[in-house]
C-alpha cells in the first residue's frame, strides 16, 4: 500500500482518479486518509467531486432523453394496427407509381428529317418531347398535312397536324417517345393519301 507523506499534497490527477473511483484499493485508502487530515486537499477533492456530479447530471439527461425518443418512436410505429400499416404501404406504392408519371419531360428536341435515302438516320434522345421539321424537297408542299408517328411494329404512337414553315412541315409532339425506331408518315389532309415517310431513331 502506497502512503502519502504528511507534508505533501495530493496532485490533481490523483484526486480526479479518486473521485472517479479508478484507484486500486490500497491507493484509494491512502488518499482517503490524507483527505481526512489535509483541509487544502479535501477542499480540492470536494470541488472535483462537485464538478464530476455536475458533469454527470448535465450529460445524463440528454443521453437518456435521446435514447427514450428513439425507443418511443419505434415502439409507437410497432403499435400501429394492421389496417394502418396496410394503408401506409398502399399510399407509398401509389406514390411510387404516380410520381414518375407526373414527371415533366425534358425540353423539346428538334428532329429535322429528310426523306432522301442516302441521308443519315436522325437520332434523338428519349425523355424529351419532339419538334418535327420535315423536309418538303421533291414534293409539292401543302400548307397543312396530317402527320403520324408509328413504331417498328406499325402501331401509331402519335398523330397530329403539321404546318408549312419556310419549306418544312413543322409539328410539336408534346410527349416523349420510348427508345426504338420510328417512322414519321405525312398524309394529305383531304383523301388521306400518304405523301412521304421519314425514319427516326430514339436513343
Q: Among the listed ranges 38-42, 47-51, 89-93, which one has the minimum average pLDDT value?
A: 89-93
pLDDT band at 43 (very low <50, low <70, confident <90, very high): very high
Q: pLDDT tens across 79-131, in order?
A: 667 777 688 888 888 777 766 655 555 678 787 877 766 567 788 888 888 88
In order of their start, the domains of the chain are 1-103 (1.10.10), 109-202 (2.60.40)
Are residues 120 and 153 in contact, defined by beta-carbon separation less than 8 angstroms?
Answer: no
**Per-residue pLDDT for 2 more than 70?**
no
Are residues 112 and 122 in contact, defined by beta-carbon separation less than 8 angstroms?
Answer: yes
Q: How far apart are CA 185 and CA 162, in angstroms?
A: 11
The three grid cell numbers given for residue 13, joined into one nine-digit string: 490527477
Are residues 147 and 159 in contact, defined by beta-carbon separation less than 8 angstroms?
Answer: yes
Q: At what angle do helices 12-20 and 25-37 cross, to 10 degrees?
A: 120
Amino acid at each position: 500500500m502506497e502512503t502519502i507523506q504528511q507534508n505533501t499534497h495530493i496532485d490533481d490527477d490523483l484526486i480526479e482518479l479518486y473521485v472517479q473511483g479508478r484507484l486500486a484499493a490500497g491507493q484509494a485508502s491512502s488518499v482517503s486518509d490524507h483527505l481526512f487530515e489535509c483541509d487544502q486537499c479535501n477542499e480540492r477533492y470536494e470541488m472535483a467531486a462537485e464538478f464530476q456530479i455536475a458533469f454527470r447530471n448535465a450529460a445524463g439527461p440528454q443521453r437518456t432523453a435521446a435514447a427514450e425518443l428513439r425507443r418511443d418512436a419505434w415502439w409507437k410505429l410497432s403499435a400501429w394496427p394492421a389496417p394502418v400499416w396496410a394503408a401506409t404501404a398502399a399510399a407509398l406504392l401509389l406514390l411510387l407509381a404516380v410520381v414518375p408519371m407526373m414527371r415533366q419531360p425534358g425540353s423539346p428536341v428538334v428532329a429535322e428529317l429528310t426523306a432522301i435515302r442516302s441521308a443519315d438516320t436522325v437520332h434523338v434522345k428519349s425523355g424529351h418531347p419532339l419538334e418535327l421539321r420535315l423536309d418538303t424537297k421533291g414534293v409539292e408542299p401543302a400548307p397543312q398535312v396530317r402527320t403520324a408517328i408509328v413504331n417498328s411494329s406499325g402501331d401509331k404512337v402519335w398523330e397530329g397536324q403539321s404546318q408549312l414553315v419556310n419549306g418544312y412541315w413543322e409539328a410539336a409532339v408534346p410527349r416523349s417517345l420510348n427508345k426504338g425506331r420510328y417512322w414519321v408518315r405525312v398524309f394529305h389532309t383531304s383523301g388521306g393519301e400518304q405523301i412521304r415517310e421519314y425514319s427516326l431513331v430514339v436513343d
